[in-house]
Every structure is written in C-alpha cells, then in structure tokens.
C-alpha cells in the first residue's frame, strides 16, 4: 500500500524528471557547466532554442533549484545564470549519460539497425 507521503514524493520526482528529461534543459545545464552565462550567451550556446522556450526552461530550472538567477541593478538590466550545487550534481549525471552513450555507441547502432531491418 502506498501512503500519501509516498504519492507526493513520486509526484515531485515525476515533475522533476519531466523537466530535466527535456532536451532544452539538458543543453542549458551543459552550457552552464563551465560557469555563469547571460541570457543572450545561453541563447548562443543552445542553438535553435527560441527566446520564449529558453525563458520558460530557465524558470523551471530555477524553480527546482538547478539554476540560480542573479539580476544586476544596471541599465540596461543584466541577468546572469549559473548552476546551483544540485545543478552541478545534475551536470555530472548528464556527463555520465553521454559517456555511457559513447561507450555503447556500436551496440546501440547495431540494435537500431537490427530493429529497423526487422520492421521493414
């Protein structure tokens, strides 16, 4: 039997996984790995992302404590984004996933070819 607390925990886990499993979120986390970037710099690093999608994804990452946002009191306004400690932890996981993909590339490609051939 699942308790209410366990249901709430699974709900949070699903919400966070939905966010970080998004390709834009992982590309943003990766771009912030080396250090702090401004919004426009992030747009440049994450090719193909719209202004709206970048803003929306950054809000989600900030809400979940993965990215921190610092607004400078300047004219024009300047906003910097950086990974939090948990964001750095997530970056390490993303690097491990990329490493796994590279290590298993031949097996993955062979499995895909076999699957596609069997399906016509």
> Is there a cis peptide before residue 76, judged by omega within 30 degrees of 0?
yes
Q: Is the pLDDT of residue 58 over 80?
A: yes
CATH of the domain at 8: 1.10.10.10
Average pLDDT, the chain: 90
Helix residue spans in 33-118 (DSSP H) = 39-45, 51-63, 85-103, 105-118
User: How many domains are contained in the chain?
Assistant: 1
> Which positions ≥6 away from 112 have C-beta within 8 Å?
none
**Residue that the structure tokens 């097996």 belong to:** 107
- The model carries a pTM of 0.78
Q: Write the pLDDT tens digit of every residue in 26-53.
A: 999 999 999 999 999 999 999 999 999 9
Average confidence (pLDDT) over 66-80: 93
59 vs 5, 63, 67, 97, 100, CA distance in Å? 26, 6, 9, 24, 29
Instruction: Identify the band that residue 7 occupies on the pLDDT scale cut at 50, 70 and 90.
Output: low
CB 72 within 8 A of CB 81: no
Domain boundaries, position 106: 4-118
Characterise 72 by phi-psi region: left (phi > 0), alpha (psi -120 to 50), beta (else): beta
Largest CA distance in the chain: 61
Task: Round to whole Å and give the CA distance between 60 and 11.
Answer: 16
């Amino acid at each position: 039997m699942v308790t209410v607390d366990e249901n709430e925990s699974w709900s949070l886990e699903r919400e966070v996984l939905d966010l970080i499993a998004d390709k834009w979120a992982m590309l943003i986390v990766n771009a912030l790995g080396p250090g702090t970037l401004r919004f426009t710099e992030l747009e440049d690093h994450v090719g193909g992302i719209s202004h709206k999608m970048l803003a929306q994804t950054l809000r989600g990452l900030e809400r979940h404590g993965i990215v921190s946002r610092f607004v400078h009191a300047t004219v024009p306004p300047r906003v910097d984004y950086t990974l939090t400690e948990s964001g750095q932890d997530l970056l390490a996981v993303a690097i491990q996933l990329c490493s796994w993909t590279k290590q298993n590339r031949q097996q993955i490609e062979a499995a895909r070819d076999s699957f596609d051939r069997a399906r016509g």
